[in-house]
Amino acid sequence: MLLTISTSHKPATDLGFLLHKHPARCQTTAMPFGLVYVFYPVANEEFCTAALLLEVDPIGLVRGNRGANTSMPLEQYVNDRPYVCSSFLSVSIAKIFGYALNGKCKQNPELVQRKIPLTCQLSVLPCRGGDSFLKRLFEPLGYSVTAQRYPLDVNFPDWGDSSYFTVGLSKETTLMELLTHLYVLVPVLDNQKHYFIDRNEIEKLMKRGEGWLASHPEKEAIALRYLRYQKSYIREALQRLMEINPTQEEPEISDDASKEECVEQEIRLNDERLGTVIASLKAEGAETVLDLGCGEGKLLRLLIKEKVFKKIVGMDVSIRALEVASSRLKLDELPTAKKERISLLHGSLMYRDRRLEGFDAAAVIEVIEHLDVPRLRSFERVLFEFARPKTVILTTPNREYNTVWENVGPDLFRHKDHRFEWARSEFQSWAQGVAAKFHYQTKFLSIGPSHASFGSPTQMCIFSRNSVEGGVSK
């Protein structure tokens, strides 16, 4: 991972004094996760660029990692940690640029508080939440933001874009302020940390957030992600921020998924949705069930209570969601008979996965609207062509119903991570096209209170595989 910081301040080599790193030398520091290099690609009176390069050792990350999550052993080896800007970068900034981060400059102390034109580039930065979330983090702090998104795979453009960006930030500011914002917000964008979160993280957040975090419009999301969803820590941090800036309303502590539920809370839509799915699975005679995009395991908790479901598998692309699901299901404490019926898988709906084959039914509950539209074709093939369960139960929001909710309305999505929301005719057209292509029959149901003009808030389709198929690729 690479971070560059540039300035056109005169003399530009003052950057070396601020960083306490001589522009004429390349320096190497050993860290627990690998090597960190500091060097200057350009260093003259007119322009200066300092580079921080992390060479993360992927084998070193795994070696001796006794605390690894044994329910997903391959995650130690198959991940993006060696290649992207993450909490490793924050640790490196604190260690390598510690003097600058803490506002110290022995030779030219007056430089510390001097605002100079600074530009930084981060390659490659995970922006889990997209470039809109990236801009919501940095633009309120006065930065000009550029973001170049990478495709998921250049050889398969239909798969769409990845969540990785090369990001540029520009502002006339102090170096200490720039490094402080990077230190806090890079792990927030990545939405992961490589070390254990304890109460010390609250103090780090308060220290590095001094003077800007309390008034930041995304402070709840920042605290949520920085403290890794530890609710007691988040509550304490937000309360302390409220004391600093008491003019704002007290925020609710919730994750992104629960924010969507707040819209629907009054009518308990989620309970009705999950209840309808369970009833439909029983009506279809399913005994082996996939929950694709299982999230934190809300449907799984209902499935495991029903003895009719003899094999239950939840799959999600988010390691964090699977960790929460495992905790809430208390997998380690389940009786042997129950434990043998349920398992969790880390995987993506964009790739063929033979572990998904041979099931009676698959539930895809409020998932597809989180996929980029170009990726739907890959999702269709993974589920309907390759996994080919006998039954697929799929739900998605009805965009028309948004008009009924004052805090959504016809022009907004119910959730900021939704890439689209379909009207009833759009959903039915897509579902019927998929069914015809992959030899399924469709049945549509509405979930929730019905409005005369806008229908119900959730639309559901039950796909039933034809008993006689022709010309289906295997």
Per-residue pLDDT tens over the stretch 19-58: 999 999 999 999 888 899 999 999 999 999 999 999 988 7
Residue 344 inside a domain? The answer is yes
Confidence of residue 121 (pLDDT cuts 50, 70, 90): very high
Q: State the residue range of the domain holding 168.
A: 2-195
Residue 200 inside a domain? The answer is no
**What are the Cα distances from residue 367, in Å, to 257, 261, 402?**
11, 14, 18
Cα–Cα distance measured from residue 143 to residue 135, given in angstroms and rounded to the nearest whole number: 9
Residue 210 neighbours by CB under 8 Å, 6+ apart: none
pLDDT tens digits along 406-436: 566 676 787 777 899 999 999 999 999 999 9
Show which of 139, 162, 195 is a domain's final residue: 195
Same domain (yes/no): 165, 310: no
Same domain (yes/no): 179, 297: no
Q: What residues are paired with 173 via a beta bridge?
A: 116
Same domain (yes/no): 266, 185: no
> What is the Cα gyration radius of the chain?
25
pLDDT of amino acid 414: 76
* Confidence check: pLDDT of 113 > 80: yes
DSSP per residue, 104-152 = --SS-GGGTT--EEEEEEEEEEE-TTHHHHHHHHHGGGT-EEEEEEEES
User: Tokens representing 56?
Assistant: 């993360």
Residue 121 inside a domain? The answer is yes
Tell me the average pLDDT of the chain: 86
Same domain (yes/no): 182, 279: no
Same domain (yes/no): 280, 420: yes
- Which of the 8 DSSP states describes residue 463? E
Q: Domain of 52: which CATH number? A: 3.30.1610.20
Amino acid at 112: V
* Confidence check: pLDDT of 241 > 80: yes
User: Tokens representing 351?
Assistant: 């790739």
Residue 245 inside a domain? The answer is no
Same domain (yes/no): 35, 167: yes
φ/ψ (deg, to 5) at 345: -125, 140
Cα–Cα distance measured from residue 100 to residue 103, given in angstroms and rounded to the nearest whole number: 5
Same domain (yes/no): 334, 424: yes
Same domain (yes/no): 78, 181: yes
Cα–Cα distance measured from residue 39 to residue 84, given in angstroms and rounded to the nearest whole number: 19
Q: Which is more confidently placed, 73 or 447? A: 447
Cα–Cα distance measured from residue 286 to residue 272, given in angstroms and rounded to the nearest whole number: 20
Same domain (yes/no): 270, 413: yes
* Confidence check: pLDDT of 70 > 70: no
Given phi > 0 = left and psi -120 to 50 = alpha, else beta, which region is 211? Answer: left
Smallest CA-to-CA distance from 175 within 2, 341, 416, 12 is with 12
Q: In the chain, how long is the greatest CA-to-CA distance?
A: 81
The domain tally of the chain equals 2
Same domain (yes/no): 268, 350: yes
Residue 359 inside a domain? The answer is yes
Q: Domain of 320: which CATH number? A: 3.40.50.150
| Of the candidate ranges 153-157, 162-166, 443-447, 465-469, the one whose mean pLDDT is the lowest | 465-469
Cα–Cα distance measured from residue 129 to residue 112, given in angstroms and rounded to the nearest whole number: 33
Same domain (yes/no): 188, 267: no
Cα–Cα distance measured from residue 446 to residue 395, given in angstroms and rounded to the nearest whole number: 9
Residue 203 inside a domain? The answer is no
Contact present, 460 and 447 (Cβ < 8 Å): yes
Average pLDDT over residues 190-202: 80
* Residue at token pair 């957030």: 209
Show which of 152, 175, 195 is a domain's final residue: 195
Q: CB burial class (10 A; 0-12, 13-18, 19+) of residue 150?
A: middle
Residue 392 inside a domain? The answer is yes
Question: How many C-beta neighbours within 10 Å does residue 9 have?
Answer: 21
* Confidence check: pLDDT of 470 > 70: no
Cα–Cα distance measured from residue 163 to residue 165, given in angstroms and rounded to the nearest whole number: 7
pTM for this prediction: 0.56
Residue 42 inside a domain? The answer is yes
Show which of 158, 173, 195 is a domain's final residue: 195
Smallest CA-to-CA distance from 315 within 276, 269, 363 is with 363
Same domain (yes/no): 15, 131: yes
- Which of the 8 DSSP states describes residue 259? H
